[in-house]
Chain A
Amino acid sequence: MKKILLSSIIIIVGIVFIGRLSYLQIFSFSPNQVLEDPAIKAIYDYPERGYIYDRNGDLLVANQPAYDVMVIPREVKPLDTLEFCGLLGIEKEDFKKKLKKARVYSPRLPSVLVHQLSKEDYARLQEKMRKYQGFYIQKRSLRYYTTNSGANVLGYISEVNERDLARNPYYVQGELTGRTGIEKQYEEVLRGRKGVKYIQKDRFNRDIGPYKDGALDTLPQQGQEIRVTLDKDLQEYGELLMRGKRGGIVAIEPKSGEILTMISGPTYDPSLLVGRQRSRNYSRLHYDSISKPTWDRSILAEPSPGSPFKILNALVALEEGVINPSTTIRCYNGFYVGRTLRGCHCGGGLRTMNSGIYKSCNAYFAGTFRKIYDKFETTDQGMDVWEKHMKSFGLGDYLGYDLPTGRKGRIPGKEYYDRVYGDNRWSSSYIISNAIGQGEVAATPIQLANMTAAIANRGYYYTPHIIKQIGGKDISIPEFTKKKFTTISPEHFEPVIQGMAEVYTKGTAKWLQIPGIDIAGKTGTVENFTKIDGVRTQLTDHSVFVAFAPVNDPKIAIAVYIENGYYGSRYAGHIASLLIEKYTKGEISRKDLEKRMLEKTLEHEYAKPYSGEEFKINEYVW
């Protein structure tokens, strides 16, 4: 025992050491430690972020330099604090506090002393900077907007957060990334790739030369400019008209699926989220839970579509052969569901499909809807067919457009009603509201615009998209260049479009005609409810309008949804009419119409639910 004691200890120690070393060097080792290594510092070379142009080549988003005053506390020499503070435009106390904070963070590493100087301050400061040791000016690149429109669709950029860092190893603390809209969707294209230089450091953070003689260094890759499908003038004009109103507008070029404008009201000036006031503005916008300016209603609001949905029901009925354009249905100033009469504003009498559309007769489409279901033995079968047709218009599911957010809308199927009413405990009477676009159906404005484009194209659509060119080259994304056909045969569209055109000539929108242009459209008036102190309360109807023009060679299909705008031809109809004229003619001939839209606001409507008092809805004041 005593002879082998030391030998055993020596061998055991050896085994323990080898074990620990293999744990450290073989099991814990991860080969890619260059960035974790405190001895190696990566210095990044950021390429300029790509510009964004509109469809006509007008600049929308560019970059502007911003100048941060940086300080390295260890290198600061005694200085004339008062003069320096004067130059920086800050208080002496503030200056001292910031300097102390920087020193606490690190005496050796640079900290920001003053964020984003204005160009004037920068010019004044620059020449005197040499006098102040330990301070220097760092240039940063910020977004610069040539327009005050399109905040939601363009999106904004902001510093990466912990989640971004965890999700994407490309980013480093303090870098910027697209947060919403186009900036987010085309982040990688716009951003480019930063270049990197690895520098060997010692523990005092001093450079002691390039790491591995620069073998791992990379050059920056420039961000690419993009051209989007938006029309700057139309976007700006639309937002002007939306002042004081809430809602969403989407216009699409039917021939290509290009999104001409995407408007959400209320909106904000995109420049608010740039520069020194950014965080204050951001909280103000973000926490406005009543008007929600950062909530993009054009792709996120899901109201019931209202009467424009009647057109689709007509198309389905024609396709299924349960009506033809001359089929007549009588309107009793309403229609009966069981013994209760549901109202209609069309005036009553015998309706054909044509007058059913342009007078927006509820009875006619309730009848049509029943006929579709009556064709089949069971409601389930009818439901399946109806659902299939509706979904072929891009409703009830994500459209697949190139923006980072969206909603499905809703085309209820049999599973939905089985869940609500119980298995087979419902019939077409239960779901009759869908005939007139009320009830369970729901669609986002972009889905309505796309549906309108499919009608304008007489049976097909292109997936709506926002990108037109990347780096000067037209996009060739098959998803956006392939026709998507609806399940309705092309010949059924003409009589329906005829009805839609007559909406303008003798129907619900005859005051909104544009001289010299044939328009086809459809009004919608959507009942809606909210909860006030837990009580379900009806609010003034939403105003909805879809239209395309010119009828025989459609250049624009548009959907306008105005919250609490009352009936369809009121706000939505006016705005749609003005936008179509603006886009097709370039200027507005009906100045009185324009003036009315620019002046009218709906703030009084939006204030009603918060007033705490009884209020009337659907008032006929105009």
Chain B
Amino acid sequence: MANLKEMATRESRLTGGHRLCSGCGAPVVVKQILAGTKKPVVVGAATGCLEVGTTIYPYTAWKTPFIHSAFENSAATMSGVETAYRAMKKKGAIEEDVKFVVFAGDGGSYDIGFQSLSGAMERGHNLVYVVYDNEAYMNTGVQRSSSTPLGAATTTSPAGKKMAAKSRPKKDLTSIMVAHNIPYVAQVSPSHWSDTVRKAEKAFEQDGPAFINAMSPCPLGWPHEADQTIELAKLAVDTCYWPLFEVENGEWRLTYKPKKKRPLTDWLELQGRFKHLFKPENKHIIDQLQASVDQKWEALLDKTGRK
């Protein structure tokens, strides 16, 4: 894998001057993923913060071919692009070895784009699908998604007098993607850049679909101080809330094991969306969250042979 110095000498494919919030995690994810290939890459995006923030007409922050068509169809749209590429390649109409990557939020992937993502993965298109998972619909102003964790407050799952925010647990999209029997599935965090770049490299070199789920802290929606984005991504990993692993051709591998597993509250307490959980009457929710993290972590250690 290239080192940072070498990566930094390459031209950025996503420029500054985009209109994403100060401290947004998404462009950091994009930078690290795109560092995973030196080849020409076509980027697709679902409607969402990243797309809106980077392509306000007549400006584009993309220095690479970019396509957005709608919210729920980024995987299908890129299926068409990738298929066109194969048709052109076959006829000798294009010479370059081109890579294809989609960036979509949790809304565009866990929810409204779930079907199109599943279809594209099942059909075996040669593309990398990356979720920047900020755990709610941030572009429309922080509404709950199926990726929003239990107990998190959003504008459609507020912490009210009768209900303490979201009552359902987070969907495990990464495992669902593993169940598609595609060549490569991984979870990454922008805090662990070398792990992310290495996984992106693997994903780009697969012959077939690859799926990467990236934790993407959101200063607006979680909310947290803008300078804490990377720290929160790190804590998500160190609390084992967001473990770093990969599943290559069905084989599970843990790629990072925290020296000391930190309590989940270390992560929760830095975010406004969990503030109400620290009231005594909501302690059971924190317990539930911690129990879920523990159980999943143990299961992951089992699957990856690291117990």
Do A and B come together as binding partners?
A: no
